[in-house]
């Protein structure tokens, strides 16, 4: 039972669109991630995905609208809904779901696999 400072956890991430687990409660993983640029369109048929922005501006592109999230904004992408997160500049966020989704199936761009920091 340890507390975690979310900003400090975010500062340890050195790869874009790569989730790091900081806690688990009731089967949900609480993960931090940083992003810049765009991911790929994808959907999760098994889980809702919840975002809370801590720094910067994250755009959740949906097929019919864009959701623009800034600090302390929370948004839930329901299961089965296509989405494509992107950020022109650096963004830091918390993401909650059933497992790690920062993989190719989860829209992670291939180039994002290389450390950029």
Q: Interface residues with its own copies (CB under 8 A)?
A: 1-7, 22-28, 30, 47-50, 52, 54, 62, 67-69, 72-78, 81, 96-98
Beta carbon of residue 111, minimum distance to its own copies (angstroms, whole number): 28
Query: Which residue, 25, 37, 28, 52, is CA-closest to 101?
Result: 28
Distances (CA, A) of 50 to 76, 82, 115: 4, 14, 25
> 33 or 69: whose CB is closer to its own copies?
69
Question: Quick one: 87 exposed, middle or buried, by C-beta within 10 A (0-12, 13-18, 19+)?
Answer: buried
Beta carbon of residue 33, minimum distance to its own copies (angstroms, whole number): 15
Beta carbon of residue 37, minimum distance to its own copies (angstroms, whole number): 21
Angle at 81 between CA 75 and CA 86, to 5 degrees: 60
Cα gap 95→19, rounded to integer Å = 8
> 41 or 76: whose CB is closer to its own copies?
76
> 1 or 114: whose CB is closer to its own copies?
1
> 40 or 81: whose CB is closer to its own copies?
81
């Amino acid at each position: 039972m340890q507390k975690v400072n979310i900003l400090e956890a975010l500062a340890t991430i050195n790869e874009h669109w790569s989730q790091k687990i900081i806690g688990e409660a009731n089967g949900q993983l609480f993960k931090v991630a940083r992003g810049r640029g765009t991911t790929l369109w994808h959907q999760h048929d098994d889980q809702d995905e919840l975002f809370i922005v801590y720094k910067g501006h994250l755009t959740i592109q949906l097929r019919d609208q864009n959701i623009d999230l800034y600090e302390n904004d929370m948004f839930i992408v329901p299961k089965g809904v296509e989405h494509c997160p992107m950020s022109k500049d650096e963004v830091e966020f918390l993401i909650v779901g059933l497992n790690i989704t920062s993989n190719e199936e989860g829209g992670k761009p291939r180039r994002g696999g290389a450390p950029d920091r």
